[in-house]
């Protein structure tokens, strides 16, 4: 057995994995010492012992701190995966001790919190009443790092890329075409036929510049001879969009399933205009390096079922 095999199988400990992750996060021995509540010499000694046990250096030292080399990048990636699995085991065991059948943590983009995700969660609780579900709402930019480090199990929202990536699995649930919506008392709400020119007198609630929906909308407006409006507010918050549309004569943009939800509630009306297909479908994203617990697999099945039953399947 080689030194590397022996060390990985018999000597590598979780505290050393935590050290690697902290060094990667902070890139400075003093800050790592503060996070781990030890002295800086203790951090230096622990890193030196780890590198000696493995038989190669993991970090390059410079005036500003430490930077992982190719060996360090490889081991840090695996350390995060191992620690995520240990955290998952802890959560599942603790859930069992508390009388729950498991735990699943979901990251949800704001557009998913009405409609699809609540239906899937209701189905999950019906199928496994003792499952504990935790939902964190946020942007994809905020949620993806949490998914990669194992803090959340699944993201529900518009997919980042068609095929996923080496560490990211993805599955489309539905196309999620965008539609133009207004408050139910808007002057255009009861019109059965519209032209794009009919939109000219009204302000907008627009997706922020750089978001996936902004450029296709602006292209559609220009194609119909309309300059993108200056009288607008910018947000991706579904709560702000729906609330503002009910209080103003503004026009807004929502994914079709979300718009359908608020139309059914009688809050909004959808205008009879066709927008180009979205750049990315709506679906699920997960970490390929993290084992799927039964609770996660059940929730994924419930999401597929919820999308299919409400005519949204991709």
* Same structural domain, 212 and 237: yes
pLDDT recorded at residue 256:
83
For residue 32, being part of any structural domain is answered with: yes
pLDDT at residue number 162: 55
Neighbours of 91 (CB within 10 A): 20
pLDDT, tens digit (0-9, with 9 covering 90-100), for 41-91: 999 999 999 999 899 999 998 888 999 999 999 999 888 888 887 877 777
Q: In 3-state terms, what secondary structure has residue 112? A: helix
- For residues 17 and 60, membership in a common domain is answered with yes
Are 264 and 141 part of one and the same domain?
no
* Look-up of token digits 């709506």: 282
More confident residue, 229 or 305: 305
Structural domain including 50 reads: 3-79
% of residues, the chain, pLDDT over 70: 92
Query: What sign has the CA pseudo-torsion 170, 174, 175, 177?
Result: negative
Asked whether residue 96 carries a pLDDT value surpassing 80, the answer given is: no
Give Cα separations from 145 to 84, 168, 264 (angstroms): 13, 11, 35
Domain shared by 182 and 56, yes or no:
no
Last residue of a domain, one of 44, 79, 114: 79
Residue 93 lies in a domain: no
Instruction: Give the integer Cα–Cα distance in Å for 310 and 314.
Output: 11
**Range in 86-95, 118-127, 149-158, 165-174 the model is least confident about:** 86-95
Residue 164 has pLDDT above 60, yes or no: no
Mean pLDDT of 288-307: 89
Q: What is the CATH number of the domain that holds 69?
A: 1.10.10.10
**Average pLDDT value for residue range 210-227:** 82
Q: Is residue 240 part of a domain?
A: yes
Asked if the structure places residue 55 within a domain, the reply is yes
At 165-214, the pLDDT tens digits run 678 899 999 877 889 999 999 999 988 889 999 999 999 999 888 777 78
Structure tokens at 75: 């081991």
Residue-wise pLDDT for 100-116, tens only, equals 567 899 999 877 767 78
Which residues contact residue 199 at a Cβ distance below 8 angstroms, ignoring those fewer than 6 apart? 180, 188, 226, 251
186 and 266 share a domain? yes
What pLDDT, on a 0 to 100 scale, did the predictor assign at position 311? 54
- Tell which of 47, 79, 111 closes a domain: 79
Looking at the DSSP bridge assignments, the partners of residue 306 are none
Total domain count for the chain? Answer: 3
- Look up the CATH number of the domain holding residue 259: 3.40.190.10
Residue carrying structure tokens 């993108």: 228
């Amino acid at each position: 057995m080689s030194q590397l095999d022996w060390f990985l199988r018999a000597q590598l400990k979780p505290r050393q994995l935590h050290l690697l992750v902290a060094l990667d996060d902070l890139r400075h021995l003093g800050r790592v010492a503060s996070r781990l509540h030890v002295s800086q010499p203790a951090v230096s000694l622990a890193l030196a012992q780890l590198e000696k046990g493995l038989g190669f250096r993991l970090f390059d030292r410079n005036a500003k701190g430490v930077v992982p080399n190719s060996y360090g990048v490889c081991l840090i990636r695996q350390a995060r995966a191992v620690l995520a699995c240990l955290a998952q085991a802890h959560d599942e065991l603790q859930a069992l001790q508390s009388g729950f059948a498991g735990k699943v943590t979901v990251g949800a983009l704001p557009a998913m919190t009405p409609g699809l995700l609540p239906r899937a969660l209701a189905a999950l609780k019906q199928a496994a009443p003792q499952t504990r579900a935790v939902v964190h709402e946020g942007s994809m930019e905020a949620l993806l790092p949490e998914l990669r480090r194992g803090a959340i199990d699944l993201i529900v929202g518009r997919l980042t890329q068609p095929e996923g990536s080496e560490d990211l699995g993805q599955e489309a649930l539905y196309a999620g075409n965008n539609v133009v919506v207004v408050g139910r008392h808007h002057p255009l709400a009861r019109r059965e036929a519209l032209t794009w020119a009919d939109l000219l007198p009204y302000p907008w609630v627009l997706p922020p510049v750089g978001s996936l929906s902004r450029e296709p909308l602006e292209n559609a407006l220009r194609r119909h001879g309309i300059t993108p409006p200056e009288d607008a507010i910018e947000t991706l918050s579904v709560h702000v969009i729906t609330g503002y549309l009910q209080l103003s004569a503004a026009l807004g943009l929502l994914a079709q399933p979300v718009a359908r939800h608020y139309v059914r509630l009688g809050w909004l009306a959808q205008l009879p205009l066709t927008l180009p297909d979205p750049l990315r479908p709506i679906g699920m994203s997960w970490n390929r390096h993290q084992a799927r617990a039964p609770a996660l697999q059940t929730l994924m099945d419930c999401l597929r079922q919820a999308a299919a039953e409400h005519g949204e399947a991709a």
